[in-house]
Amino acid sequence: MKKFFLTLAVACFALTASAQEKGDFRFGVTAGMNVSNITDMEMDSRIGFHVGAKAEYNITDNLYGSAALLFSQKGNKKEEGSIEATSNPGYLELPIHIGYRFKMGDKVSIFGETGPYFAYGICGKDKLEGTGVADYDVKFFDYDNVNKFEFGWGVKAGVEYAKFQIGLGYEYGITKVFDISGVKPHNSNFMVSVAYMF
């Protein structure tokens, strides 16, 4: 599965890079904040981040395809008195979107896009600490029932000025984070991002 994910990432960027000769290809860097949770867990959202590189290919004057390779931190947390539980899995993520850009002038445009994403868990911890409990600090993806591979769907909208983009997005994991009978734990993630396109 890991080899499949890496092959897909390389193929996607090779495909967009091949269009550079036409002058319709551009790339950039992006970073931002995640507000994530794991559904059906009675936990609270936690703040994380994402950072990486992205590429865009203009299919027409308004329609475009985009891909990114991100490190994205998700998870959840819960605080009750002096007890705090936190999960902060980190994923290598590849979103592949189709978008539409509406130009409002020479430098300003608004855009919206949607599409699938593929993610592979690479780091993160599951922690419990506080008074009266047995503290633990375990690598998140070391659990037998945790799924390292994730497939989901995302949407994003924003505004672009010159070479800067500001966007708001949401992702929902279609695959379960882990397998537990009677529970449907899916990643749910709101994103605020800033990008600079070269």
Residue type present at position 177:
V
Range of the domain at 155: 2-197
User: What is the reported pLDDT for 1?
Assistant: 53
User: What is the reported pLDDT for 181?
Assistant: 87
**Under a CB-based contact definition with an 8 Å cutoff, are residues 130 and 82 in contact?**
yes
Q: Find the CATH number of the domain harbouring 176.
A: 2.40.160.20
**Under a CB-based contact definition with an 8 Å cutoff, are residues 188 and 153 in contact?**
no
User: What is the reported pLDDT for 5?
Assistant: 47
**Under a CB-based contact definition with an 8 Å cutoff, are residues 157 and 147 in contact?**
no
**Under a CB-based contact definition with an 8 Å cutoff, are residues 186 and 173 in contact?**
yes
User: What is the reported pLDDT for 33?
Assistant: 98
Identify the DSSP state of 82: T
DSSP states of 154-197: EEEEEEEETTEEEEEEEEEESS-SB--TT----EEEEEEEEEEE
CA torsion sign, 175 to 101 to 32 to 56?
Answer: positive
How many domains does the chain fold into? 1
User: What is the reported pLDDT for 106?
Assistant: 87
Nearest to 99 by CA among 35, 195, 33, 2: 195
Residue type present at position 114:
T
User: What is the reported pLDDT for 15?
Assistant: 41
Cα–chain-centroid distance for residue 104?
28
d(CA 88, CA 187): 11
User: What is the reported pLDDT for 129?
Assistant: 92
d(CA 188, CA 174): 10
> What percent of the chain shows pLDDT beyond 90?
80
User: What is the reported pLDDT for 7?
Assistant: 52
Q: Output the tens digit of pLDDT for each of the chain's 198 residues.
A: 555 444 544 444 444 333 333 448 999 999 999 999 999 999 999 999 999 999 999 999 899 999 999 999 999 999 988 899 999 999 999 999 999 999 998 899 999 999 999 999 999 999 999 877 778 899 999 999 999 999 999 999 999 999 999 999 999 999 999 998 889 999 999 999 999 999
- Global pTM reads 0.86
What would the two tokens of residue 51 be? Answer: 């950072």
**Under a CB-based contact definition with an 8 Å cutoff, are residues 113 and 66 in contact?**
yes
**Under a CB-based contact definition with an 8 Å cutoff, are residues 67 and 55 in contact?**
yes
Identify the DSSP state of 184: -
The length of the chain, given as a count of residues: 198
User: What is the reported pLDDT for 135?
Assistant: 85
